[in-house]
Structure 1
Amino acid sequence: MATDPALDKSAFGYTVADITRLFRRVFDRRAAHLDLTRAQWRALSRIQRAQGLTQAELAEDLEMEPMAVGRVVDRLVQAGFVERRADPADRRCWRLHLTARSDDVMGKMKRIAATLRDEATADVSDEDFERVMRLLVAVKNNLAELDREDRARQQARRKTQP
């Protein structure tokens, strides 16, 4: 019995990457009128989900170099969407927060994303969607645990190296 190559486990990572790439591409086109770069809207979205994170944490979350994230944040601060607040526990550290001015653009981004999600899942039953989401959350949790373990091993190796 021939199986669909798209359903082969070896295609899993590629399929997830393709979905992410296509979702971002369509979102980029639909959000172009907001005059934000992808890095900027991703930063805004991440800051909204984790108000008060540091630039270093944002860089790690976005998988960007800290200097590049610094430039993105500088532009968002200049545009009035983000403010840097001093960390009360560490004077060298700045915490990132959205301003009230970001509310309008964040609302527009959320509407674009919601419409795109609805269109992307239009032919998917609620039951299938829930099943896929359970699978993706389980895979995400497994990968997060593997990441923690790998980081711990890497740090232990660094400590034992001369």
Structure 2
Amino acid sequence: MSDQDTKIPLPLAGPRPDQEEIEEALEFSSLLQEFGRLLSGEYDRRMPMSRGQSAVVALLMENDGRTQTELADDMVMHKVSVGAHVDELVQQGLVERRPHPTDRRSKQVWLTPYFHSVKFLGQGVFTMIHARAIEGVSKKDYDHAVKVLTAMRDNLKKLKDETGG
């Protein structure tokens, strides 16, 4: 086997970036990762649900009645792992499985009336954490930051579509 055969193929992305561009990109990426860790860590400490359970609930709040396969696809997780989260939520009385109306092999996952009666507790925790995170930030700066992050997210979605990801 030659050296050529053992090299890992790297995607071609254009000219070599200079050191300042690299450091800027790393600082931005690190900041977003740390922000996400701090936000989710604080939420995790205050809530009786795991992050996976919270993700299932959040998706069902957007569109209740999804199948486990749909949840797994949206969470980019294996169906069995999502099933474990759903099982735990069923045991807590927060979701229930119901037969799919057109596919008898499949079941849909629905939020329960009990969940709807207590969801304000989790929403209160989340809004409190959000309020602390934006403490000292002006409304104008906050709105601008959201606008910029939304544009960046949209750019990354386009990139994903362009590269078939």
Identity of aligned residues (%): 31
Any gaps of 5 or more consecutive residues in structure 2?
1-20
Q: Which residue of 1 aligns with 2:44?
A: 28
Q: 1:70 Cα deviation (Å)?
A: 0.5
- Any idea what the Cα deviations from partners look like across 1:128-158, whole Å, max 9, x if unmatched? 111111111111222222223333xx7xxxx
Q: Distance in 2 between matches of 1:124 and 1:95?
A: 42
The residue type paired with residue 87 of structure 2 is: D
Greater radius of gyration (CA): 2
Matched ranges for 1:1-150 at <5 A? 8-31=24-47, 35-150=48-163
Q: Distance in 2 between matches of 1:150 and 1:67?
A: 28
Q: Give the total of aligned pairs.
A: 144
Q: 1:26 Cα deviation (Å)?
A: 0.9
**What TM-score do you get using the length of structure 1 for normalisation?**
0.78
Q: Which residue of 1 aligns with 2:18?
A: none
**What TM-score do you get using the length of structure 2 for normalisation?**
0.77
Any gaps of 5 or more consecutive residues in structure 1?
155-162
Q: Distance in 1 between matches of 2:100 and 2:114?
A: 22
Q: Which residue of 2 aligns with 1:157?
A: none
Which structure has more helix as a fraction of its residues? 1
